[in-house]
Amino acid sequence: MRKVINRADSAKNIALESADSTNSVNAIDSACCGTNSADSANSIDSSDYGCCGNLDSADSLNAINSACCGVDSANLNSASATSATLVDLNIHESRSVKNPSFWEYFKQKYLITFYKPLPAVIALGILATYYFGFFGSVWAVTGEMTRWGGEILELFGADLSKYEYYNLTNLNGSPLTRNDGIMLIGMFLGCFIAALWANNVKLRFPASKIRVAQALIGGILSGFGARLAMGCNLANFFTGLPYFSLHTWVFVVFMIIGIYLGIKVINLPFMHSKAKLQKATKSHNLHQEQDRAKFLFYLGSVIFVACIVWIAYLTITGTPQQNKAIPLLGLALGFGLAFGFLISRAQICFTSAFRDLFLTGRSEMAKAVFIGIMISSLGAFSYIMLGNGIKMVWIGPNVVLGGFLFGFGIVLAGGCECGWIYRAVEGQVHYWIAGVGNIIGTIILALTWDIYAPSIAYPYPKLNLLGVFGNYGGLVVNYVLLLAMLGLIIMYSRYFFKAKKQAIYLKCA
């Protein structure tokens, strides 16, 4: 490492050296804001720390966060830092070859290097549209996690037939025979393959008890809130808004409120970890690091080939479902692999888009998400016109409270369902705990649903924009709302940086 930051003042001084740039404002924010997000080292793009100049991106990010933000030092030795180190090693290796082969170029660019959010989110939006077209349901995960929780209870002899929520979610079959079940398994495998190829797999433990508590409580709240509102930030946000159900807009508004208040809570002094600052260094044994990277890459390739064989087996031996021309289980596994690979390589956590916006003013992910939704909306509309049904949910207090609890919970836990899945397979134990908490939250909701659903859900209407405004009118209204959200995101980001720069100049005057 060319230079090491080992004190908070050093981090702040480096940030102040180039305070006129947007990147420097991000670095200053990271240096001074007291962020305590468990996934900061993963979710924050190192390109936003360009103000660090001659520092290695991974090293400077670790140093700045650990110096000023109270983030667990164990989590700072994260997938991103590991990947950045090995990417650097691979770059040095490739520089020794005057004309690298096509394979080496492809491997570095598409299998190891992190993707930019916009193209990745657009690809996810297109995939989600085709998923809707093939399966007639939206890309979602917490519904299947609810089934997994119910099946765990059944292993212990519980009779779930008397619980209405488990009847609503349909416990028929198993994860290996349900489309959503095998798709979710595919997501885990896709994330794991991506992490292995990029040498992002390393066991890391939370450095403090407060982080463990945040993961568990945040996971429970987000799981409970998602199922109370009948969907998480996939079914009620990224893949929900393109399908015109009015409840998704209500969910998004209160999810954003929950995220904003969650940020306020995690920045309270008692929520900060007491992690010790550790010097971030690269391994001097480059050959050992390269050997490990090669082994993990080969392991990921073996798993990938096994998944292709599994897809072929399911396609050849399966039977078509529900008047479909081809068996769908193999296709579901393929979609899951693609979803998982993309969210891992682009480090996609949909609701972190708003968290990053409120914390640092960074709007890249938020803009990418809404652009992806706008692209997906047109495809979804086409399939709806061809006869696919629309998911509609009661627009009642259940959506309001569920959206708020979900938004608050994912900030506390450090990531949404997509976020904790790819971080968990990278070996971050914090997100194992968040995942367990998520399933516990779905179980609590399902077992208590019959108590409050008659008063906060069932009496309220189910509405969609196409039914209220007509087919083309509903499409136009949805795009107007999406464009309005995109405009608000851009305006807030500009306001944030303007206010931040003014505060810096006043402080330095």
Sequence letter at residue 308: I
Between CA 172 and CA 147 the distance in angstroms is 9
pLDDT the model gives residue 334:
97
Contacts of 137 (CB under 8 A, 6+ apart): 131, 179, 180, 391
pLDDT the model gives residue 277:
57
Between CA 33 and CA 24 the distance in angstroms is 13
Which whole number is the average pLDDT over 112-130? 94
Residue 320 pLDDT greater than 90, yes or no: no
Q: Give the number of C-alpha atoms closer than 13 A to the C-alpha of residue 288, restricted to the C-beta side.
A: 4
Q: Give the number of C-alpha atoms closer than 13 A to the C-alpha of residue 480, restricted to the C-beta side.
A: 8
* CB contact at 8 A, 357 and 411: no
Q: For 442-484, how does the pLDDT look when each residue is reduced to its tens digit (9 = 90+)? A: 999 999 999 999 999 999 999 999 999 999 999 999 999 999 9
Between CA 367 and CA 377 the distance in angstroms is 15
Between CA 139 and CA 458 the distance in angstroms is 24
User: Which of 60-69, 432-441, 480-489 shows the lowest mean pLDDT across its residues?
Assistant: 60-69
pLDDT the model gives residue 321:
75
Between CA 36 and CA 412 the distance in angstroms is 9
Between CA 264 and CA 267 the distance in angstroms is 5
Residue 196 pLDDT greater than 90, yes or no: yes
Between CA 320 and CA 331 the distance in angstroms is 11
* CB contact at 8 A, 406 and 255: yes
pLDDT the model gives residue 488:
95
Calculate ∠ Cα 106-112-117, nearest 5°: 100
Between CA 417 and CA 145 the distance in angstroms is 10
Residue 335 pLDDT greater than 90, yes or no: yes
pLDDT the model gives residue 399:
97
Q: For 248-259, how does the pLDDT look when each residue is reduced to its tens digit (9 = 90+)? A: 999 999 999 999
Residue 93 pLDDT greater than 70, yes or no: no
pLDDT the model gives residue 205:
92
Per-position DSSP letters for 92-149, written without gaps between them: HHHHTSSS--HHHHHIIIIIISPPPHHHHHHHHHHHHHHHHHHHSS---SHHHHHHHH
Nearest to 492 by CA among 403, 372, 359: 359
What does the block give as tokens for 489? 């995101």
Between CA 441 and CA 460 the distance in angstroms is 24
Which whole number is the average pLDDT over 6-22? 36
What does the block give as tokens for 31? 């240096």
Q: What confidence category does residue 44 fall into, taking pLDDT thresholds of 50, 70 and 90?
A: very low
Q: For 276-319, how does the pLDDT look when each residue is reduced to its tens digit (9 = 90+)? A: 655 655 555 677 788 899 999 999 999 999 999 999 999 999 88
Q: What confidence category does residue 275 fall into, taking pLDDT thresholds of 50, 70 and 90?
A: low
Per-position DSSP letters for 148-160, written without gaps between them: HHHHHHHHTT---
Q: Compute CA distances 150 → 66, 145, 158, 447, whole Å.
A: 40, 9, 9, 10
How many Å separate Cα 268 from the centre of its chain?
24
Between CA 67 and CA 30 the distance in angstroms is 10
What does the block give as tokens for 444? 């609590």
User: Which of 193-202, 278-287, 425-434 shows the lowest mean pLDDT across its residues?
Assistant: 278-287
SS3 assignment for 45-95: CHHHHHHHCCCCHHHHHHHHHHHHCCCCHHHHCCHHHHHHHHHHHHHHHHH
Contacts of 290 (CB under 8 A, 6+ apart): 89, 93
Rg of the chain taking only CA atoms, in angstroms: 23
pLDDT the model gives residue 406:
96
DSSP 19: T
pLDDT the model gives residue 47:
32
* CB contact at 8 A, 354 and 366: yes
Residue written as tokens 């914390």?
Answer: 359
The backbone torsions φ and ψ at residue 274, rounded to the nearest 5 degrees and listed phi first, read: -100, 50
pLDDT greater at residue 1 or residue 217? 217
* CB contact at 8 A, 38 and 413: yes
Residue 7 pLDDT greater than 60, yes or no: no
Residue 87 pLDDT greater than 60, yes or no: no
Between CA 147 and CA 443 the distance in angstroms is 9
Residue 412 pLDDT greater than 60, yes or no: yes
User: Which of 40-49, 324-333, 498-507 shows the lowest mean pLDDT across its residues?
Assistant: 40-49
The backbone torsions φ and ψ at residue 319, rounded to the nearest 5 degrees and listed phi first, read: -120, 145
| Residue ranges covered by each domain of the chain | 115-508
Contacts of 265 (CB under 8 A, 6+ apart): 271, 408, 411, 412
Per-position DSSP letters for 432-484, written without gaps between them: HHHHHHHHHHHHHHHHHHHHHHHHHTTTS---BHHHHH-HHHHHHHHHHHHHH
